[in-house]
Structures are given as C-alpha cells and as structure tokens.
Amino acid sequence: MWKGRFAQETAELVQQFGESISYDWRLYQHDVAGSIAHARAQVKAGLLSAEEFQQVDQGLREIEADITAGNFEFKTSLEDIHMNIEAELTKRIGAAGAKLHTARSRNDQVATDTRLYCRAEIDVISAGIQDLQRALLDRAEAYAGTVLPAYTHLQRGQPVTVGHHLLAYVEMLQRDLGRLADCRKRLNVSPLGSGALAGSTINLDRQQIADELGFDEVSRNSMDAVSDRDYIAEFLFAMSLCGVHLSRLSEDLILWCSAEFGFVSLSDAHTTGSSLMPQKKNPDVCEITRGKTGRLLGNLVSLLTAVKGLPLTYNRDLQEDKEPLFDSIDTLRLTLAVNAEMISAMEIREDNCREAASDPLLLATDLADWLVKQGVPFRHAHELVGKAVAESVSSGTPLDQLDLTHIDEAYTTEAGSVFSLETALAARTNPGAPSIDNVRSEIARWKALL
C-alpha cells in the first residue's frame, strides 16, 4: 500500500509482529458498511461515478459474503482488515476500488469500524444482561417469601428473603445496563472524514456518512477523533464492573452451595464432579465466573496503560486496543449466558435457609428497636440488648428463651414478641426494605420493566 516510498519489502518478522488481521477481521462487516457510506459520499462529491459506485458497492458486499461464508483468504502481508478488504476489492473491480481510499485514512477508518462494532456489541451484551436479570427475577419470585439470614462481615446480621437478596443483583445489573447505554450514547459519533489527523482537502459530506451509519453526530476535532479510545475504555469499564457484580453473585452462590451454608442446590448440568472424590459436586461455573473477572479487569488496565503515554494523534500502540476489547466481549457474553442458564435451574433449599434464619440473634436489632418504642434511647437500648446477648452466649440459653426482665426493668414480658420472623419481616415496610409485600411489589415492577 505504501510501496512508492520504500525500496525494501517489510521484513517477515515485522509483518508477523505488526499484523492485526488475525483478530481485527472481526470488524469486517463494519468496515464494509463504512466503506459503502464513504463511497456514496464520494459520488456526491463527484469523485466516483454512479457506475463505479455500483461496482464498489457490489464488490464490497460480495467480499463481506465471502468472509461470512469462510471463503476469504486473509493475508498477513496486508496487515489488517482494512487493507485486506481494500486490496481484494481493487483486485476484483480494478480502478474504482483504487479510488475508495480517497479522503480517508485507516486512522479514521479503524476508529469508525471500532465504534460501530462496540455499538453492536453493547446491544448484544445488554440483551445478555437482561436475560440474566430475568433469570434472577424468576428465582426471586419463586422464593420471594423464603427467609434467610443476610450477612455483614460474613456474620449473620438480620433476616431477609431470598427474593430480596436476588433482587439486589437485578439492581446492580440495571446500573450496568445504564452505564452501557451511556457509553453507547457517547460513542455514537462519526470519525469518518477526520482522515489521518487533519481531515482532507477533499470534502465529503460527513453528515451524510454519519446518517447512513446511524451515528448521531460527526466528530468535531479531527485530531481527537483519530486518537480517542475513551469509548473502548468506558465499554471495558462497564464490562469490568458487570463482571465484578457477577463475581460477587458467584461468591454468594459458592458459599451457599457449601455444606456449611446449604442454601442452594445447583443443577447437575451446571456443576461438575471430582475425578477422585466421588461425593463432590462443585460450583465450577461460579468459580470460573469469579476467575474470569480478573481478565475483564486486566483488559481495562491494559487499554488504559496503552493509551496513557501517547502523544496526539494516532500511534500504532492503539492497535493494542482490540484484543482486550474482543476478549472482554467474548468473556462477558459467555459468562452472562451460562449464568442465566445456571440461575434459572437453581433451587433454593428453603428448609436450610429457614433453619439458619431462625437464629434468634438475628432479631437482636429488633429487640433494641422494641426498647426504643418503649422510650429507651437507642444507645442505651443497644447496650441492654448487648447484655442480653452476652448472657445468652455465656449461658447457652437462646436469646428468645432468656428471662429478659431480670436484665433491666425496661424489659417486660412483652419483649419476647419480637422473636417472630414473620413479624420481623412484615415490619420492614420502608421503601427498599425486605418485607414480603415490598419484595412482591418490586418483583411486579421488574416484571413490567423486563
């Protein structure tokens, strides 16, 4: 492509080192779409005849079909997807193909392709997130009223329901969707026409190109447009955080699967056995999900690191943006799909949840609240309940069976009424709190949304 200036062929090792076709071939559909829009603008500018446009349009569509069918031979010597397609087009249609790169550089081309690619993938990943939300919602509904202990510091805290616990993840995923939608909005800007870095002396209708490609606007600074990779960083961050959420869900499920918790039973289809220990049923999907989150974070850091030291404008380092991007997309898509399937099939072991939630210490806060309602200041109530808990622990008498009245005169025999899980949950009616009615109305709200 640049033979005029050079007397020697590019060294074999340099080709091997610098090629991106082995991975950026994935951009082919967007490269073709971008080129067709560019060629149409060339017609308007009087650079390409209607007939030449027909050849370019048809040639590019045939190349696209060949790539899709697996009938296209990519050449490492042509470095990337852009040059592979352009060279093949010129080989197929001749002179009209050689005009395509007028008023364009691979710098605005790759920025355009990658934006289009990210936009499409954001839609796919968003759909995957919604599938997982639906799976969680389905399980939340099935176990809306199943009580279980909720933890802080992994120590039993207060009773909630399985429905409430699972809906917490639906909330997180909804924020992930919001971040992706926000990223999509910001990336939907057309860089085509920015050329290598300073636009072109040949003016094409940038707005027409943007409209054809579904971009909301055209970029306003050619130097920024060819060197900006913010949208990839944002996308990688949104995927990383989504991965972090999935990793936390995994950690919950791994704990819940253990004999010590025994709150959940994952299906045989979504667990694995041990080659040695016959009794094992391992939550590998959860563990791999937790493990893969490391890659998502690594990919984000890798991109940010590649960009941080770059002077304006395009530098070849930027080619390193694609593998982390592709890897995170592949990783997250599969992670979402397998988790949605696994969650749909999981069963909660309700007896074990209830048994764990029946620990009266979970209602120690409710006892303090009861004292407050009798007029005891909260700090004092906290201390009085603390004393009762200490006595329960040292005597081995469960808190709900202790004679509280001898601890302090603020306690009456009525105090024992707080030790009912049903009453305790039913009293949690504040917005966002886990009364079963609240959880059910949240489920109804989510069902209408999803």
**Which residues here bind ligand ARG, judged by CB under 6 A?**
20, 24, 80, 106-107, 110, 314, 316, 318-319
State which residue, 51 or 330, has the beta carbon closest to ligand ARG: 330
Q: Are 275 and 284 in contact (CB under 8 A)?
A: no
CB of 321 to ligand ARG, least distance (A): 7
Alpha helices, H only, 188-272: 206-212, 222-227, 230-257
State which residue, 20 or 328, has the beta carbon closest to ligand ARG: 20
Listing DSSP states for 50-95 in one string gives: HHHHHHHHHHHHHHHHHHHHT-----GGG-SHHHHHHHHHHHHHTH
**Which residue is listed with tokens 């200490």?**
390
Question: Which of 405, 435, 399 lies closest to 418 in space, CA to CA?
Answer: 399
CB of 343 to ligand ARG, least distance (A): 37
Listed in sequence order, the residues at least 6 apart from 138 whose beta carbon sits closer than 8 Å to its beta carbon are 344
State which residue, 87 or 389, has the beta carbon closest to ligand ARG: 87
Question: Which of 167, 159, 163 lies closest to 356 in space, CA to CA?
Answer: 159
Peptide bond into 397 cis (omega under 30): no
Of 274, 395, 417, 441, catalytic? 274
CB of 105 to ligand ARG, least distance (A): 7
Question: Which of 160, 159, 165, 158 lies closest to 137 in space, CA to CA?
Answer: 165
CB of 208 to ligand ARG, least distance (A): 24
State which residue, 107 or 188, has the beta carbon closest to ligand ARG: 107
CB of 317 to ligand ARG, least distance (A): 9
Q: Are 187 and 118 in contact (CB under 8 A)?
A: yes
| Whether 165 is catalytic | no
CA dihedral (247, 248, 249, 252) positive or negative: positive
Apex CA 296: angle with CA 293 and CA 299, to 5°? 150
CB of 107 to ligand ARG, least distance (A): 5
Of 153, 275, 394, 406, catalytic? 153
Listed in sequence order, the residues at least 6 apart from 107 whose beta carbon sits closer than 8 Å to its beta carbon are 194, 195, 196, 197, 226, 313, 314
State which residue, 112 or 133, has the beta carbon closest to ligand ARG: 112
CB of 193 to ligand ARG, least distance (A): 16
3-state secondary structure of 96: helix
CA distance 168 to 171: 5
Listed in sequence order, the residues at least 6 apart from 10 whose beta carbon sits closer than 8 Å to its beta carbon are 18, 77
CB of 75 to ligand ARG, least distance (A): 14
Amino acid at 314: Y
State which residue, 80 or 176, has the beta carbon closest to ligand ARG: 80
State which residue, 196 or 288, has the beta carbon closest to ligand ARG: 196
CA distance 33 to 23: 19
Structure tokens given for 230: 């913010």
State which residue, 78 or 242, has the beta carbon closest to ligand ARG: 78
| Whether 153 is catalytic | yes
Give Rg (Cα) of the chain.
30
Active site residues: 153, 274
